Amino acid sequence: MATDTELFKPSELIINSRGAVYHLNLRPDEIADTVLLVGDPARTDKVARFFDSIELQREHREFRSITGMLKGQRVTVLSTGIGTDNIDIVLNELDALVNIDFETRKEKIEKKSLRLIRLGTSGSLSADIPAGAVVVSAYAMGTDGLLNYYRFTPNADEIQLCETFIRQTQYPTNWAKPYAVKADDDLFNTLATEAFSGITVTACGFYGPQGRILRAKPSLDNLLDRYQETVWNGLSVTNFEMETSAIYGLSRILGHRAISVSVIVANRVRGEFSSDADKDVEEMIRYSLKKVFGA
């Protein structure tokens, strides 16, 4: 780890010939202070169609970005791909773009806090939350293990929630140690007024880690039932997805503000999938942009 006087080595902070950070292919001047995070690269266009103007577009691997203006505010939409491993790349490189000087390779003295808003898809863990519903994550429960690799200090409520989750689900001790992280209060209050909210479980995979059974058999039976029964401080587990815990955790560590908004495309309790997922995603985007930008 570099100190204020040390340089971030080329092997640790990779900057390409364009002066852009390696994976995202973005220069510091090419991102806005508000970044909308989407999993699917194709969803960047679905979000950017609401922009009033487009300034630039960049692409590298699954990371596609569009920066433009919306209601007088500069904004970037960026695809992350699927999973907390990709979020590890995205959050660290976004932070580097605003808090490391690419010329000197030193940490900046004055730090910038980004506003990060995930616009994703998810599966419901409640029979009462149907396909097409919007869920805003009050807390993320990470079962992915990513934050175990970082110095993270949970607050008292997060510790209590995590302990309750482990106890009520009889969480296996040989699985990755779970962790809980709360959403940014201001962003949550802005976006949750007309949506469902609760505890979002972030999984490290789509099939076994989310209790889906095809030909490979799970190591633990009744995973969905165990998660559904979790209740803490009036909140229940509302949904499954694969990025929120890493977004919340790394944002806390790096000093950014984050919220996760999901549209339900599958109701896992009822065994149903949306009849028009594309329309549901568009309505979730429209809802979120209206709440944040008045768009």
If one counts the domains in the chain, the total is 1
pTM: 0.96
**Residue numbers of the domain that contains 286:** 28-293
> Domain for residue 58, yes or no?
yes
Flag whether pLDDT at 295 surpasses 80: no
Counting residues of the chain whose pLDDT is more than 90, the rounded percentage is 95
> pLDDT at position 123, please?
97
pLDDT in tens, 112-136: 999 999 999 999 999 999 999 999 9
> Domain for residue 13, yes or no?
no
> pLDDT at position 221, please?
86
> Domain for residue 194, yes or no?
yes
> Domain for residue 10, yes or no?
no
C-beta of residue 117 within 8 angstroms of C-beta of residue 292 = yes
> Domain for residue 202, yes or no?
yes
Task: Give the closest residue to 68 by CA, choosing from 58, 81, 80.
Answer: 58
Rounded average pLDDT over 212-220? 91
Task: Give the closest residue to 2 by CA, choosing from 246, 15, 141, 12.
Answer: 12
> pLDDT at position 4, please?
53
Q: For residue 158, what are the contacts with CB-CB under 8 A and spacing of at least 6?
A: 139, 179, 180, 181, 182
pLDDT in tens, 38-56: 999 999 999 999 999 999 9
> pLDDT at position 5, please?
59
> Domain for residue 57, yes or no?
yes
Structure tokens at 289: 């942009």
> Domain for residue 14, yes or no?
no
> pLDDT at position 149, please?
97
Rounded average pLDDT over 58-67? 97
CATH number at residue 283: 3.40.50.1580
> Domain for residue 6, yes or no?
no
